[in-house]
A and B are shown apart, each in its own frame.
Chain A
Amino acid sequence: MRKSRALVAGAAALALTLSAAACGGSDDKGSDNSGGAKPEFNAALTQVFNPSDKKGGTIRLANSGDWDTLDPGETYYGYSWNFLRLYGRGLLMFKPVPGAEGNTVTPDLAEGLGTPSDGGKTWTYKIRKGVKFEDGTEVTSKDVKYAVLRSIDKETFPNGPAYFEGFLNLPEGYKGPYKSKGVNTDSAITTPDDQTIVFHLKQAFGGFDYFAALPQTVPVPEAKDTGAKYKEHVVSTGPYKFETNELGKSFKLVRNDKWDAATDPNRKALPDAYEVQLNVNADDIDNRLLSGDLDVDVVGTGVQPATLGRVVGDPTLKASTDNPTLARLWYTSINPTVAPLDNVDCRKAIEYAADKVGYQTAYGGPLAGGDITGTILPPMIPGYEKFDLYPSADGTGDVAKAKEHLAACGQPNGFETNIAYRAERPKEKATAEALQQSLARVGIKLTLKPFPQGDYFSQYAGNPPYVKNNKLGLNLNGWGADWNDGFGFLSQIVDSRVIRETGGSSNTSVRIPEVDQLLDKASSETDAAKRDAYWAQIDKRVMEEAVILPGVTAKSLLIRPKTLSNVFVSDAYNMYDYLSLGVA
């Protein structure tokens, strides 16, 4: 008796605290300095919210994990590339403007875009005069060359992008300036004078300007380079430099007095400082954003599930969010190496029978999950064309069409196959179950096969012999590009030549010789408009073969900083542009 009474009292206390918490959520504490802009849903998606040129103040950011690394030669996260422009100037950069223009490259340390010669095998950049490191020394082309070469040392920088070593015409066995000291690298990069840098490639590559926009082209002074430790004391070339850097905890950027605005057409440099806290509880970050105790969740992948529930149910809260589309596709590979999926009609039956609304729900619905899509390319990729070869009236699948194709492939009553997914990902499990249900409508029976994500591609779903022997007809997959263009998005998932018999490739199902040829033509094309026209063509060709079932193009829900000015979503990084923010 006493116990039950105690429980009631406890429950009442709990309910009280909870309701207090719920009230707290909608209580808007921060000052509303919108400067004319109306705080409504998606207000910063395609235009500048709260524009201002006011200088001063400190922007407070938090990261729920540790920064992968602050070293421009190794960092490999979109948010870090976005942020890095505050303290580093690469040859080119993504334009800090809202809308589609934000996904174009523009000169930064270089005076102009790259000049191709030799049919796209050689790329030349001229470096601006008067750009200085934070110690006052002038930046030369040799600092850029050194920065690119050091990033090639994958024993020291194992996590970095590997484009330069893949494309530059480096001497045989070259391992970077630490191990291959004194080796002549003029076959790969030449610096005829302090203002000129020339890249020599193994084969023609039309999209080299995107490489030149990688943080790996941010100059590093050789004398100050400490290898793997350089991330602790990065020498700035941008408007801000490191004042403190407490590893794993926090760091602070303050103004770099050696930065000259006259050499820099892109940066406004409004705030006086940026304070970044690391390893902060993710739910706590959301609460602090909503209360105004924090300005930006720097990782930029959107709110936590708990916050999502609150935001969706509260119009006031929802008005202070933006919902950008990401360059990330959640899809299912349909493996033609597994019978009866070697028949294109059996694959098309799956395309028609799949319930895409179920796919979307499994990923979190229209706000946090994403948009239903019929294409492989996400809409922000230049050259994207909207189409759907396997349409259905309401997105839940076309059962009649699916049955037609089943009959055409000689399996009128359906067939059995397996679907692989990553065991640690509840969303993939939910998707596999949704597909299991929708395909069952036409008699296709799926058996769910979870695998550990660490070995998913190397041992299981990305390992061709394993796929064939264990009849993994379908496997869940996802892809996000390193930058938003067709090469970055498609080359790793539709080129048959990246498939390795030993496993490890993200492409598990696309083996179309014609697509490989189109990719080669596209990547050697130096004219951007002509190049972009290829991507939609490739997209269509792969979809005709029905070896990929596109699910949703991912979206995220961002909490808009209420205390900041110049807030807008960058189309290059699909999160707020960190270069332009100011304190309102």
Chain B
Amino acid sequence: MITYIIRRLFAAVVLLFIISAATFGIFYLIPRLVGATPETLATRYVGRAATPETVHLIAEKLGFYDPLWLQYGRWVKAIFTGADYNLGATVEHCPAPCFGYSFITKQPVWPELIDRLPVTLSLAVGAAILWLVLGLSIGTLSALRRGSFLDRAAMTFSLAGVSMPIFFTGMVSLLVFSYTLDWTAPGGSYTPFTESPSEWAYALLLPWLVLALQFSAQYARLTRAGMLETMGEDYIRTARAKGLKERDVNVKHGLRAALTPILTIFGLDFGLLLGGAVLTEQVFSLPGLGKYAVDAITNNDLPKVLGVTLMAAFFVVVANLIVDLLYAVVDPRVRLG
């Protein structure tokens, strides 16, 4: 068990390095391959009044004249040793772990990521609880009452939920519930949990619901399909024949067996969300990692893009590890080693 975890963690670190090198390459190698010079890269970081001298200065300052491996090496080195950045009147030290320093906002990336993590975490955890409860119960009920009105209504609801993208449901629900009915908070109103739990929940209620609507729909359909399959298995018949209560048959034998594939999907979904619920954060203007990523990409702020990509990758890897460990709990047939 322990060696398994250690092996997986080691693989994760290697994977993160590969991802960082790939992201770095996408930003620097590909433009170079299609003919970009250090100067053309630097023009993204100067204003419209910039003279060729200014562009040259900035290209030099950002190290664009150096070979690519040196630029990447410098970035990796800063993670372990930190780095200094000249700000004109002052020099700022970016302490280890220094996951880059923004070209544009003149901020170390790491503290910003840490600062935005709680927003995404709040969004993801709240929504995940909602969609698991909703999805699993709707799916189970549908499967048990297959063909009933309830089943059809639930499946219609979930089809609508899956089909409608968040930028649509988000905007419409904001318009209806926040701006017309005034029931929920307007976009962009996030309050940290530590400041006021009630305002925190009030601000996040609509994003939770919108996000959960999309996911719970998928989960309801998955649960229903899984349940239908397992409820037809021989051991369910055996359990019933043994005289077990119907509830125990459904939950302990039926749902538990149907849970394994859901757990797999959940690990991926939740990990991805922790890396940034991009659309939801964008629509509701929540200052989380997803919004951070979008803003960084629009501004061509590579150090930020690298940082947030790594963070997202980290969460997916960790979530998957946890899911693999949980298999052993959910499914007695699984042994880790």
| Residues on A facing B (Cβ under 8 Å) | 2, 5-7, 9-10, 13-14, 17-18, 20-21, 23-25, 27, 29, 62, 65-66, 74, 76, 150, 153-163, 176, 178, 225-231, 247-249, 277, 279-281, 283-284, 287-288, 290-291, 293-294, 454-455, 458, 502, 504
Contacts and interface: CB of A to CB of B under 8 A. Distances in A.
Given A2-B152, A10-B156, A229-B106, A24 B58 contact: no
Contacts of A27: 180
A281 B49 contact: no
Nearest to B160: A10
B171 interface: yes
15 contacts: A7-B159, A10-B159, A24-B179, A29-B179, A66-B299, A150-B89, A154-B46, A158-B57, A228-B106, A229-B106, A248-B287, A279-B295, A291-B178, A291-B186, A294-B186
Contacts of A5: 152, 156
Given A62-B188, A160-B47, A163-B49, 18 more contacts: A13-B160, A14-B164, A23-B180, A29-B180, A76-B47, A153-B88, A154-B58, A155-B58, A176-B88, A225-B89, A226-B89, A229-B90, A249-B287, A284-B171, A287-B187, A288-B187, A293-B178, A458-B43
B171 to A, nearest CB: 6
B302 to A, nearest CB: 15
Given A155-B88, A227-B90, A248-B105, A281 B283 contact: yes
A293 B179 contact: yes
B156 A161 contact: no
A529 B333 CA distance: 91
Given A17-B172, A283-B171, A287-B179, A230 B105 contact: no
Contacts, number: 163
Nearest to B49: A162
B89 A178 contact: yes
Contacts of A10: 156, 159-160, 163
Given A154-B57, A156-B87, A247 B156 contact: no
Contacts of B172: 17-18, 21
A454 B179 contact: no
Given A76-B47, A161-B49, A293 B283 contact: no
A162 B90 CA distance: 22
A284 B188 contact: yes
Interface of B: 40, 43-54, 57-58, 61, 87-90, 92, 104-107, 112, 152, 155-156, 159-160, 163-164, 171-172, 174-176, 178-180, 182, 186-188, 282-285, 287, 291-292, 295, 298-299
A423 to B, nearest CB: 15
Nearest to B105: A247
Contact of A158 (B46, B107, B174): B46
**Interface pairs A-B: 6 shortest CB-CB:** A227-B88, A156-B88, A24-B180, A227-B89, A159-B47, A291-B179
B47 A288 contact: no
A249 B90 CA distance: 24
B156 A21 contact: no
A18 B163 CA distance: 16
Contacts of A454: 40, 43-44
Q: Which of A6, A27, A454 has the most CB of B within 10 A?
A: A6
A76 B54 CA distance: 16
B176 A17 contact: yes
A155 B61 contact: yes
Nearest to A7: B159
B88 A158 contact: no
B237 to A, nearest CB: 27
A51 B72 CA distance: 58
Q: Which of A161, A227, A504 has the most CB of B within 10 A?
A: A227
A18 B164 CA distance: 13
Given A21-B172, A281-B282, A160 B49 contact: yes
